[in-house]
Every structure is written in structure tokens, then in C-alpha cells.
Chain A
Amino acid sequence: MKLRANLVIGGSLFALAIVVGLLAPWLAHTDPVMDANLMNAEEPPSWTWWFGTDGQGRDIYSRVLYGARVSLTVGIVSQLINSVIGVALGLSAGYFGGWWDDIVNALTNLMLAIPSLIFALAIMAVLGPGLTSLLIALGLTNWSFTCRLARASALSLRSQGYVQAATVLGYGDARIMITQLLPNMLGPIVVIGTLGMGSAVLSEAVLSFLGLGVRPPFPSWGSMLSEAREQITTAPWLSIFPGLAIFLTVLGLNLLGDGLRDILDPQSRSRRT
């Protein structure tokens, strides 16, 4: 198979982010929280301080590495929650139809009508800041697109010959949904999930920027940006490096999603004809 540029670049960027997050304790030069030293405050990038230091003398390079953990955890886990909710609701709605479909549709429209970030903010306001509430808030607010997609796929797959054949052969509803419908709609669901991960990373940054995410002094890319706001003219490296990390990760995830769509789509199209 021809390797596609977007798939390779996107995959590498995402893999890099994961490796960096996992290996942070070994790659980091200093502890991201404890090693504050006011003697080194606001050093610009140099050979000693690759990404410079912040106002409390903490190494930005080490903090960006540790920040990857929070951002990726939020991105992956919250999107996983979204995918599970979206697929469960959409698939069952498309398959069963009727009143259940109406309810799911109404719920999806409701979710689409409220800006998801505002909704997440409201949930955070109730649950209080912190990683767990961040996961819950973002995991509950972005499933509507996945749900729409799963429902549409289920509707079109339901009339396929093999789904009817499975009914005739005595498959139960759950078995049909899991063995016949789900594997056939997985391609687009994975693509949407990858793209959603990118936006979840961004949402984490936004919520942390607003002070609702991970509490300082623990680093996340969003909270680092938030803290760097006031020094953006005097110490721009404080915002440049976490910003760059967010940019590259989201870019990587979007390229990966595009690449996956490219390889999954024509295959499924030729399969069906």
C-alpha cells in the first residue's frame, strides 16, 4: 500500500507526543513542580534551559513534557467516553428506530444546540476543577457527531443483505448490532474519534487556560499558557513552547484522522459494490 504523507506525519507527531508523555520522567531535566529556583527565573532558551524557565525558575522543557501527560490523557480518555456514548446511542437508535430513535435524536439536537464548551464549563462549575472532572465534562459533551454518524451508518447498514440474513439465521438484536453493524461502521467512527481527540486536547487547553482544568502547580499545556499570559511580551518562550506542543499534537491528530479516512474510505466503498 502506498504510504500517505498525512498518515505518516500525523501518526509520527501523535506517536511522538505519546512517547514524550510516557517517558517524561526520564527525558525531563528537572522535576516540573519541585525544582523551582528563583535564581534562574525567566531565563531565555539556552543550552542549559532548552525552552527557557518561567517566573519561578522552573524548566519549561520539563514542564512541557509532563504537560503532555495531562493533555493526552484528557484527549484520549474523554474522546473514548464520547465514542462509546455516541456509538451506543446512535447505533441502537438507527437499528431500533421508533420512539427510542426520537429520544436519541432529540438529545443529540439538544447537545448540538448548546455549544459544547459552554456545557463543559457548566459541568466543571458543578464538579469543581481537577483532572477527573475535566475528563467527565469533556467526555459527556462531544458525542453528538459520533452519534449522528453511528445512527446514519446503522440506518443504511440495517437494510444490507447480510444484516437481514443474520436476522433470518436467528441472531438476536444485540448480536446483530455487535457482529454485523459495528464492524462495518468502525472506519468512519475511528476517523471521527481521532479528529475529536484533537479538539479535546484544545478544549483541555481552553478550560485550563480559564483556570478550570488541572490545578497549579501541576503542569498542563493549557494552564502553562494561562500562567504565561502576563509575561507574553517580556518572556514569550513561556507561551511559545506549550502553544507549539498543542499545535503539533492537534495538527498530528488531524492529519492522522485525514490519513485514516483516506485509507478506510475507498476500501469500504469498493467492498460494498
Chain B
Amino acid sequence: MTGRPLLEVEDLRIDLDDGSRRVAAAEGVSFRIDRGETFGLVGESGCGKSITALALIGLLRPPLSIGGGVIRFEGQEIQHLSAARQRQLRGNRIAMIFQEPMTALNPVSPVGRQIAEMFVLHRGKSWREANQLAVEALASVRVPAPERRVKDYPHQLSGGMRQRVMIAIALACGPDLLIADEPTTALDVTVQAEIIELMRNLCAERGTAILMISHDLGLVANVCRRVAVMYAGRIVEERGSADIFRAPSHPYTQGLVDSLPRLGSRAALGRSRLKEIAGVVPAITRFPDGCRFNPRCTQATDICRTTAPQADGLEAGGFVRCHHHA
């Protein structure tokens, strides 16, 4: 990709203030997303992926705050913008969809009105025009009979339909970046595939970049061109998604890939049960010294316990943060 990246995150640090001291819930987070690109952020619960997303859209609330680093959107630093300027970006240039389509829609407002509100808010349309645009938006996410559906309330729609409405709302103003935080976790597997497909197609048509956040490495690798794996507040590996599956470099990524259930793998590999990564993610206040993965790592040596590994560039692009990477 040439030219300026759409989003550039450099050495982002997110602080958690627990009253007496500040601890870094995420640190050294750097990545870039080009226009129209799909980028995935993967990690276990509590690894810092969701707060990274919140930091991007300026919605960290105490006790969390940005402790350092730079977030550039189209070359402009946005981490210190005024609340009003950030609000102009949100929903308009950067949109977000959530894990829970059940609760992310206002129960007492018809869905058409909730879509129309985006046009009124960010495009200054009249309600009449906005309602017309809402019907079109609903049609674009392949909701059948959109002119009738706009009058429905969220409880009259199924989970998949609600997520479609969320996508319609998020893409209403043609944002440059769509942040999808676990967009399909609450849905059936069949619906999941449809929604992912829909999201990917719509974004490809409009040149919208996607930042997809999930714990599901398989899903992310399927959707995204590049994937970053987070562990305990740091990005441990960033690769093209095909490479990360074929030859994961970081022991944690290897563990993630190995722990994915695969059809027919039992017989082929002679395994009797799925592999797991021993141990649990350490609490934010008790991150170990050195490499944060060392207590759970099978390859850990003395240097892992004392020195945090630097990001090593890989030949095929991307980087890994490990002393012993392959």
C-alpha cells in the first residue's frame, strides 16, 4: 500500500488508575491500517484489545486513560482532540459495531428512526430525507421489506436482523473505518457467516477499512488481511493472516493455533484431545517481569524472565516479540 495510512497507532499506552497507583493495562501498542484494509486484533479476554478500540474512538473513561503514545487518523493526531471534534469523528468517519445486538439498539425507538438519526446528526438532513435514506440503508444490508421493517421495534427482530440494523447504522454515513468488536459472538454460527460476509462485502464496496476485534483467531484470519495477536496488554505478533496460521512465530500464537479444533485432525495428527495453553492470563496488577508470557511458555529461559523482548521484524513482513522466535 502506498501513501498515508488511514490509522496509525504508535506506542500507545493505556493506564489503569486504581486509586493508589497507575498500572499499564496496555503498552507499546503500535499498528497501522491502510485505507480499505482489513486488520484483526486477537487475544483472550482481558488482553487489552477492547480498551485499545475504546482508546481509538476517544471513549476511555476513568479509571482508564491514555498514558502515552500517538493515534493518527489520516495523519492527524486525534488522541487530544476536544470532545466536540471527537464526536464529529465518531459515527461519521469512525464507526463501531458491538458484540450484543440485543442491547445495542434502543428498545423504545423504531429501528428506522435510529438509522435516520445518523443522517440527521452527521449529515444535517431533514427527518423526511433521513427516513427515506434509512429505508435505503436497511435495503443495503439485505433486510427484506425494508419500507415495512423501518417501523419495527428492536424486540420484533431476530438477533441476526438486529446486527444487520447495527451495521446499517454504523455504515450509514460512509465511515472510513469500521471497528467491529466481537460482532458475531452472540449469534448462531450460520447467521455469523452471513453477517461477516455482509460486513465484508459492504466495506469492500465502499472502501471502508475494518478493524476487527475478536478472540476467535479462525474468524479473524478468515476476514482480515493482517492480524495482530495481543497478550497481557502487548502485541506479541503481527503477520499476514495466511502466515500466522501456517507458521505462527510466537509461542502464544502457536498455542492459539494449536488449540483451534479442526475437522479430522484427530485421526490425521493422532491427537486424543485438543491442546490448551496451561495457566491463565495474569491480572493487570501482577504482570510478570520480562516477557509477560513466560510463566505459561514452554520455551521460556532465563532471559525471558528478566528482559522484555523487542519487536523483531520478520522476513515475510510483520513482527514478533519473542527471544526464541522461529
Pick from A167, A168, A183: contact of B106, CB under 8 Å: A183
Q: Mark B91-125, 1 if CB is under 8 A from A, else 0.
A: 11001101010111111110000000110011000
Segment at the A interface, from B65-73, B82-90, B141-149, B263-271: B82-90
| A2 proximal to B (CB < 8 A) | no
User: B103 contacts A160, CB within 8 Å?
Assistant: yes
Closest CB in chain A relative to B141 CB, distance in Å: 16
| A161 proximal to B (CB < 8 A) | yes
Closest CB in chain B relative to A189 CB, distance in Å: 13
User: A169 contacts B90, CB within 8 Å?
Assistant: yes
Closest CB in chain B relative to A243 CB, distance in Å: 41
User: B98 contacts A165, CB within 8 Å?
Assistant: yes
Closest CB in chain B relative to A185 CB, distance in Å: 10
**A167 vs B60: C-alpha distance when bound (angstroms):** 12
Q: Mark A232-273, 1 if CB is under 8 A from B, else 0.
A: 000000000000000000000000000000000000000110
Which A residue sits closest to B107, measured CB to CB?
A271
Contacts of B106 in A (CB 8 A): 162, 166, 179-180, 183-184
User: B109 contacts A179, CB within 8 Å?
Assistant: yes
| B200 proximal to A (CB < 8 A) | no
Q: Mark A142-184, 1 if CB is under 8 A from B, else 0.
A: 0000000000000000001110111111111001000110011
Which B residue sits closest to A171, measured CB to CB?
B121
Closest CB in chain A relative to B290 CB, distance in Å: 36
Closest CB in chain B relative to A191 CB, distance in Å: 16
* Size of interface on B: residues with Cβ below 8 Å to A: 28
User: B108 contacts A169, CB within 8 Å?
Assistant: no
Which A residue sits closest to B103, measured CB to CB?
A161
**A160 vs B104: C-alpha distance when bound (angstroms):** 8
**A272 vs B105: C-alpha distance when bound (angstroms):** 11
| B155 proximal to A (CB < 8 A) | yes
Pick from A161, A171, A175, A271: contact of B98, CB under 8 Å: A161
Contacts of B108 in A (CB 8 A): 183-184, 186, 271
Knowing A169-B95, A179-B117 are in contact, say whether A161-B100 is a contact too (CB < 8 A).
yes
Contacts of A160 in B (CB 8 A): 103
Contacts of B170 in A (CB 8 A): 169
Contacts of B177 in A (CB 8 A): none
Contacts of A175 in B (CB 8 A): 121
Contacts of B95 in A (CB 8 A): 168-169
Contacts of A164 in B (CB 8 A): 98, 104
Residue among A160, A170, A171, A186 with max Cβ neighbours from chain B (10 Å): A170
Contacts of A183 in B (CB 8 A): 106, 108-109
Contacts of A167 in B (CB 8 A): 59, 90
Contacts of A162 in B (CB 8 A): 103-107
User: B107 contacts A170, CB within 8 Å?
Assistant: no
| B135 proximal to A (CB < 8 A) | no
Given A165-B105, A167-B59, A186-B108, 11 other A-B contacts at CB below 8 A? A161-B100, A162-B105, A165-B96, A168-B95, A169-B91, A170-B90, A170-B92, A183-B106, A184-B106, A184-B107, A271-B108
Could you list 10 examples of A-B contacts with CB < 8 Å? A161-B102, A164-B98, A165-B98, A168-B57, A170-B88, A170-B91, A172-B87, A175-B121, A179-B109, A180-B106
* Chain B interface residues toward A at CB < 8 A: 57, 59, 87-92, 95-96, 98, 100, 102-109, 117-118, 121-122, 155, 166, 169-170
